[in-house]
Each structure stands twice: as structure tokens, then as C-alpha cells.
Structure 1
Amino acid sequence: MTNLEWLEALSYIVTIVGLPFAIWVFLKEQRKERINDDEDLYLQLSDEYSKFLRLVLDNADLRLMTQAEPSTPFNPEQIERRDILFEILISIFERAYILVYEDEMNRQTARLWQTWEDYMRYWCRRSDFRDRLPLLLEGEDPDFQRHITAIADNESRAPKPAYTP
């Protein structure tokens, strides 16, 4: 065989073996990159929720993490702070819904979404949050509105958890 015939034979082998292998490697890298992007997005959203919890801690007198209902009525300033915190929370929830939620989720996306679903359920157990929900949802994404409203309806019918003062 001449050098030209060898080169032609090698090009056939590369085409038959190398091209499918290159496509497989490319698709595998794309999938890995997509997973990393999803996890980065989740971490950014988690950071926002952590910042929100710091705000809740800074406003500990509202007892938003320990009491379903305030033991004494809030004064106007406390009501305003609570409502602003609820606005921030809804904004974070909507962003998470838009960026993470899908009707058909793969296992990884469903795992990431479940945390947000749990957070929404936790806050929807609060009657003061549920009572403010219609106002909080004005102008928000319609699909998100339906989703969190359904959660709030379910949580309003669920047995009340025990809160510690």
C-alpha cells in the first residue's frame, strides 16, 4: 500500500470511530455544563434566601420563624416591616419558580426544585402570609400565582404544626 492509500484508510477509520466518539464527548460535556449551570443557579437563589433569612433575624421581634400568629397584635411599623419581608420573599419564590420549575423535570432539576417547594409550603402555613398572598401576587407571573396559590390552599387545610414561642 502506498502512503496515500494508508492515509485514505486512516481517514475512514477516523470517520467511522472518531466522529461518533467526538460527538459522544461533546454531548457529555454539554450535559455536565448544563448540570453545573443548574447548580450555580440554585446556589445563587439559595444565597438570596439566606440573605432573606438574615433580614428575618434582623427583625426578630416579628417572630416570623417561631410563631404562626403574633401573640400580640403588631403595631403599624411592625406590619410594614412584615409586609416588606413578605414582598422580598415572594420575589425570591417567583424567581426560583421561573428559573427552576418545569412541568417535566429530570431527576436533578426535581431535586433542586423540591427545596423551594418546601420553603413555599413552610411560609404558606402562616395564615398572615396566606392572607397577604393575593396582594403579594399582583403583577407576578400567572403560572407562579397558580402554583403558590395551590400550595397555600393545601397548607390552609393541613393540620397546624406546633410552633414554639
Structure 2
Amino acid sequence: MITISRDDWELASYIVTALGLPVAIAFFAWEQRKERDNEEEEAYQLLADAYNDFLKVVLRHPDLQLRTAAPLLNPTPEQRERMLVIFDMLISLFERAFLVAHKERMSETERRRWNSWDDFMREWCRREDFRNALPLLLRGEDPEFQSYLQRVAEEEGGALFFPHRFTEGVPHA
């Protein structure tokens, strides 16, 4: 029969402490990072689902021609109202994506996720009617988001209503 002395138990406890504790801390940190990644992926998926739901709204209004490059010529007052509501929904979604997904410093995965939202924003900012509605649509939105989308609109379609910046949602003349 093997007998283990008190000194052997003490040595074993030191080894477990010296090796086990750092391994446990590393495992905990890895699990926390994995959980954060899963939460970020879930948030991205929820935003992607919301954009798909938005596109379903666009599809229910084919007379507005929102998926064409050119704006609708001579829209009726009712069409303008529906278009403005749909654009407002889109701005709300873009702002949510900006607040959730945009960071100054991003990992490769975060950058890839953000780039898809940037592409969506640029696509819509190429539409003259959307750009023309931005001063109204951006009122009251997050200031950093306002600046970001204004810059995108300027890059994609010129400075129609944005000579430089606007104050409290009202364009400068």
C-alpha cells in the first residue's frame, strides 16, 4: 500500500495551485470571449433579420420603385408619405446597426459585419430621393450616426443638402 505523506500532499497542492489556477483563469477567459462572440453574432443576426423584414415592407410597395436606382418621377402626395415612412424605418434600422456594430477599432469579424451595413447605407445613399430626405430623417438621431451617414451621402451622391454639416437637423443654406 502506498502512503502519501503530509509533505507530498503539500507539494501536490502547490503544483495544482501553480498550474491549475492559471489554466482555470485562461479557460474562464476563453469561455467569456466565446460567450461575447456568440452575443455579437446574435446581435448581428437580429439586425440582419430586421433588414430582411424591412425589405419585405419595400416589396409590399412596388409602386414606389425603391429597389431601382432612379427615384420615382412625380410621386403622388400619398406615395411621398409612404416613401418617407419607409425611409424613416430604414434610418431607424441603420442607426441601430451603427450603435450596435460600429466601433473605431474592430476585429476582422466585426469589420466584416460592419462592412455589410456600410454597403447597405451606401446603396441607399446613392438614391437621390433618400439623400434629399436625410435632413428631415436625421433630426434627433445620434450625432455620431448623423455625421457618419452625412459623410456617406456626400461620398455616394454629392453634397446635395450637406454643404458641410447641419445643426440640429436643419441644413445650412
**Alignment TM-score > 0.5, same fold:** yes
Aligned mates of 2:50, 2:4 — CA distance in 1: 66
Asked whether 1:87 is paired with 2:91, we answer no
Bigger relative CO (Cα 8 Å, ≥ 6 apart): 1
Aligned mates of 1:132, 1:111 — CA distance in 2: 28
Q: Which residue in the other structure is 1:162 paired with?
A: none
Asked whether 1:119 is paired with 2:114, we answer no
Q: Which residue in the other structure is 2:138 paired with?
A: 137
Q: Which residue in the other structure is 1:110 paired with?
A: 111
- SS at 2:157's partner residue? helix
Shift of 1:75: 0.4
Aligned mates of 1:105, 1:42 — CA distance in 2: 14
Q: Which residue in the other structure is 1:20 paired with?
A: 22
Structure 1 segments, 4+ long, off by >3 Å, are: none
Q: Could you say which structure has the higher helix fraction?
A: 1
Q: Structure 1: which amino acid aligns with 2:11?
A: A
Q: Which residue in the other structure is 1:3 paired with?
A: 5
Query: TM-score under structure 1 normalisation?
Result: 0.91
Aligned positions, number:
156
Q: Give the gaps of 5 or more residues in structure 1.
A: 158-165
Coordinate RMSD, CA, aligned: 1.1
Q: Which residue in the other structure is 2:166 paired with?
A: none
User: 5 Å matches for 1:48-87?
Assistant: 48-70=50-72, 72-87=73-88
Shift of 1:2: 4.8
Aligned mates of 1:69, 1:62 — CA distance in 2: 8
Shift of 1:111: 1.1
Paired-residue identity, %? 47
Q: Give the gaps of 5 or more residues in structure 2.
A: 159-173
Deviations 1:119-154 (A, max 9, x none): 000000001000000110000000000000000000
**Contact preservation (8 Å) 1:68, 1:125:** no
Q: Name whichever of 31-40 and 60-69 sits farther off.
A: 60-69
Query: TM-score under structure 2 normalisation?
Result: 0.87
Shift of 1:68: 1.9
